Structure 1
Amino acid sequence: MTNFVVKKPWTGRIGALLGIMVLALSLRTAVSVVPPLLGELRGELGFDASTIGLLAMLPPLVFAIFGLLTPALVRRFGLEKVLVAAVVLAVAGQLLRAGSGAVWPFLGLSAVVMAGYGIGNVVLPPLVKKYFPDRVGVVTAGYVTLLAVGTALSPQLAVPVAGLTNWRVSIGLWSMVSLVVLLPWAMQAWRDRRDRLVLAGADDAGLSPSAGGDGTVSAVPKLLPWRSPVAWGLAIFLAGNSAQTYVYFTWLPPYLSGHGLDAATAGSALAYFAILGLPVSLLVPLWIPRMKNPIFAILLFAACWATGHLGLYLSPSDGTWLWVTFSGLGQGTFATALLMVNLRSRTTHGSAVLSGFSQGVGYAFAGVAPLFFGTIRDATGSWTASFAMLGVCLVVMLAGAVMINPKRYIEDSAVVAVAPGGARAGGAAS
């Protein structure tokens, strides 16, 4: 089935737009605020090498678990209800984490925070698909850009805010950004409820929409993403990309500090790496949809990744900012992965399933990368094998890119559940 998209006015979707954008701004702040503060956390909470490694593994591993669980939650409760519950979970976890007095409660509450944001990761693309099917590229460019802004701001401000107050305020402050997410979605829920009341007469007349007013998709057949080459390709692509990114977020500051940079400069390098996602976040969603073969853009970003890895390995203290620039621009692959969720799905339901599966599998692989990076360094006594591992991640990412390059959709290839009457549901959900 071919999509038929009609241009819609922005009126009536402003609440959803604000909700998507503020959610994107808040999704990574709780992750990236911690690494620059690890020096203080070591002394006060008792972090050591093993618990730091566990902390680094938490975001991608929890993202993976809730990436796989979220499509079922969305199917049962609807996008908006699941999103609100996730935000409440994340805010509560952040506030309680800021008050922790020991390392294990801090880690446990960090897992709660990541659970909320893991759900948020998955629902963003289908929210764009649902509310803005006619403006997927523009809205995706906006939210991926704000994702990069949030990722860059929190490590840059972490040390200065902690210096003026303490690390608890520096970490807990970002929960306020997440709390703001509830306001536009409450406004949108009120508008949706009003629209449902207006359309109640149409339901009585015999109309049967495929999605409920609360965002549920009960009439849509269940897709089995593990049967889809598109889903596996995007999962592999995201795994290779995220493995590299999480290694940088975990190891870039300590790696640079070990080569002569002070802690503040190393933290600034991480913030600079993150903020370089801004230009590519704006470019990718407006450029790649026009390409017949997105893999050519992916190859350009992969070359940036490779140059950055090689430069930081060979000359970490000379040309540091140049190498971080190349690696930062390589983050165009992440923006590409988020965009491809909607470019390789036909429906909101397909987008949710593809988003959950690709992020679940992808983050599971990425979760062990920072641990391996450090473990290999300790086992060999040098960084050579660790950086070689980044090269392997790059190859994995490119293998996934080959799989998602052809223009095909998850609804076309995923096997769906058998309907109650015994007939198999169609390949593409309407």
Structure 2
Amino acid sequence: MTPPPTACAEAPADARTDADAVAPTADGTPGPASTVAPTATSGPATGGLLVLVGMLLVALNLRAAVTSLGALLDEVRTGLALSGTMAGLVTTLPTIAFAALGALTPWLVRRWPAARVLILAMLALTVGQVLRVATDSAAVFVLTSALALAGIAVANILLPMLVKQHFPHRTGLVTGAYTMALTVGTTVAAASAVPVAHAFGSWRAGLGVWAGLAAVAVLPWVPLALRARAARRAATTTAAPAPRVRIRPERTRLGWAMAVYFGAQSLSGYAIMGWLAQLFRDAGYRAETAGLLLAGVTALGVPVALLMPTLAGRLRTLRPLVLSLTAFSTASYLGLAVAPHGLAPLWVLLLALGQGAFPLILTTIGLRARTAEGTVALSAFAQSTGYVIAALGPLLVGILYEATGGWTAPIGFLLGALAVQTTAGMVIARPRFIEDER
């Protein structure tokens, strides 16, 4: 295939490719070979408003089960008598689940409409969160946590695809909205898990309350799944769907660059969430203040999460954003190494700006694919491979910290990861499409 004549961030509305011809419809059903996949908008004909509400509710759930557990880990360890090894497995489980189970999502979407898959994902999250607070067995707690995380892993992959299907000309705005919802859910769950647990006298309440939010997220997808089912039946009576063109990002330079960028920024993000408070405590801050500084990174990230995708969607090339984020993170890391106490609020602000790499890469997944099938394939590969890389972050920072007794070596490691991230960012910054690299 040849690229479209205009080098823009998104494909023109009338661009027709082989992949377009067999892309799923707005409801997640395969389109006939003779038509181009519809460019769905937020109009009522495609259920766009209901889809948007559903996406925002799903996004609110994407980290609540993880950060609420992190806030109550000491209580959970005591209540279930978790060994050190088991506690380490619990904290590493999210990245393992996101990597392994997220890779199955394209297979699921090829067989069932996206709305039905999301219903199953949110039900798995609901049931997993309920069961894990109802057990006294450490092994059952881990298994049911894995069930909950499986739902999150699938939803992680599906959201960029849904943006492409329903809001192809509002990619930045809608990605920003759901990324902001994700950030809000992360922050609220981390901040309120302990107070809820104290109010009800048990850590089980602090974890279990989020199952209700996951159950609510199921509701918008039920009518959408019914609509997709009807559309699929109608399609089978009018024309047989053509076989889909398989898109394999693992065989492309763009796919690997996306995976490395996602992995490097996630590695830094998980390392920061796991160790930044300890760095500030070592610098002389009280535990409460160190926790507030860590929370500041997430809180300041809310407006960044909203604005970054909008900026990315309007730029012809993403190089200015990639380099700016690198500059913010570099300045923050150097400041934390040299003067962690005196200018801590400034380093937190710069760190929050640098973490804008996360909403940027989520937006780029949609910008670097023409079709819904290309988006879900690229999303699955980038996130699954990226989370494997990300799992090394907290572990290696901890090893370097213990081995050296200071923060120079760990920060040097994060600067190295940032250099890798920037190199990959230069590759994904240029307008191109995964369908053209088959």
Residues 378-408 of structure 1 show CA distances to partners (whole Å, capped at 9, x for unaligned) of 2233222212111121111112101111211
Which residue does the alignment assign to 2:43? 10
SS in 2 for 1:386: helix
Which residue does the alignment assign to 1:413? 437
Q: 1:175 to 1:318 in 2, by over 3 A?
A: farther
Which residue does the alignment assign to 2:413? 389
Which residue does the alignment assign to 2:21? none
- 2:199 partner letter: L
Contact 2:41 2:48 in 1 (8 A): no
Contact 1:155 1:270 in 2 (8 A): no
Contact 2:40 2:167 in 1 (8 A): no
Contact 1:15 1:187 in 2 (8 A): no
Which residue does the alignment assign to 2:310? 286
SS in 1 for 2:220: helix
Which residue does the alignment assign to 2:187? 152
- 1:326 partner letter: L
Task: Please state how far the C-alpha of 1:26 moved relative to its aligned partner.
Answer: 0.9
Q: Does 1:338 align with 2:373?
A: no
Map 1:75-224; keep pairs closer than 5 Å. 75-165=110-200, 166-193=202-229, 200=234, 204=237, 206-207=238-239, 219-224=243-248
More off after superposition, 17-26 vs 133-142: 133-142
- 1:348 partner letter: A
Residues 133-187 of structure 1 show CA distances to partners (whole Å, capped at 9, x for unaligned) of 2322221111111111111111111222222222211111112111111101012
Q: Does 1:68 align with 2:103?
A: yes
Task: Please state how far the C-alpha of 1:357 moved relative to its aligned partner.
Answer: 0.2
Q: 1:318 to 1:42 in 2, by over 3 A?
A: farther
SS in 1 for 2:340: coil
Task: Please state how far the C-alpha of 1:316 moved relative to its aligned partner.
Answer: 3.3
Which residue does the alignment assign to 1:420? none
Contact 2:41 2:166 in 1 (8 A): no
Q: How far, CA to CA, are the matches of 2:87 and 2:413 in structure 1?
A: 20
Task: Please state how far the C-alpha of 1:65 moved relative to its aligned partner.
Answer: 0.7
Which residue does the alignment assign to 1:367? 391
Q: How far, CA to CA, are the matches of 2:293 and 2:89 in structure 1?
A: 23
Q: Does 1:328 align with 2:352?
A: yes
Task: Please state how far the C-alpha of 1:233 moved relative to its aligned partner.
Answer: 0.7
Q: Does 1:227 align with 2:251?
A: yes
Task: Please state how far the C-alpha of 1:354 moved relative to its aligned partner.
Answer: 0.1
More off after superposition, 320-329 vs 348-357: 320-329
Map 1:236-251; keep pairs closer than 5 Å. 236-251=260-275
Q: Does 1:57 align with 2:81?
A: no
Task: Please state how far the C-alpha of 1:37 moved relative to its aligned partner.
Answer: 2.0
Which residue does the alignment assign to 1:39? 74
Task: Please state how far the C-alpha of 1:362 moved relative to its aligned partner.
Answer: 0.5
Contact 2:322 2:429 in 1 (8 A): no
SS in 1 for 2:43: coil
TM-score, normalising length: structure 1: 0.87
Task: Please state how far the C-alpha of 1:77 moved relative to its aligned partner.
Answer: 2.2
Q: 1:270 to 1:177 in 2, by over 3 A?
A: farther
Task: Please state how far the C-alpha of 1:259 moved relative to its aligned partner.
Answer: 4.3
Task: Please state how far the C-alpha of 1:363 moved relative to its aligned partner.
Answer: 0.5
Q: 1:324 to 1:106 in 2, by over 3 A?
A: farther
Which residue does the alignment assign to 2:380? 356
Which residue does the alignment assign to 1:427? none
SS in 1 for 2:72: helix
Q: 1:361 to 1:196 in 2, by over 3 A?
A: closer
SS in 2 for 1:33: helix
Q: How far, CA to CA, are the matches of 2:147 and 2:356 in structure 1?
A: 29
Residues 28-53 of structure 1 show CA distances to partners (whole Å, capped at 9, x for unaligned) of 11111222223323433334654443
Task: Please state how far the C-alpha of 1:13 moved relative to its aligned partner.
Answer: 1.9
- Among 342, 351, 359, the residue aligned to 1:318: 342
Residues 230-288 of structure 1 show CA distances to partners (whole Å, capped at 9, x for unaligned) of 11111010011000011122223344344444444433333321122211111112111
TM-score, normalising length: structure 2: 0.85
Q: 1:52 to 1:267 in 2, by over 3 A?
A: farther
More off after superposition, 76-85 vs 252-261: 252-261
Contact 2:115 2:224 in 1 (8 A): no
Q: 1:16 to 1:179 in 2, by over 3 A?
A: same
- 1:243 partner letter: L
* Percent identity for Structure 1 against Structure 2: 36
Q: Does 1:272 align with 2:296?
A: yes
Residues 166-219 of structure 1 show CA distances to partners (whole Å, capped at 9, x for unaligned) of 22111111121111111010122234445567xx3x764x55566xxxxxxxx3
- 1:268 partner letter: L
Contact 1:30 1:94 in 2 (8 A): yes
- 2:217 partner letter: V
Task: Please state how far the C-alpha of 1:366 moved relative to its aligned partner.
Answer: 0.3
Number of aligned positions between the proteins: 402
Q: 1:308 to 1:95 in 2, by over 3 A?
A: farther
Task: Please state how far the C-alpha of 1:56 moved relative to its aligned partner.
Answer: 2.8
Unaligned 5+ residue runs, structure 2? 5-10, 14-38
Q: How far, CA to CA, are the matches of 2:287 and 2:83 in structure 1?
A: 18
- 2:218 partner letter: L
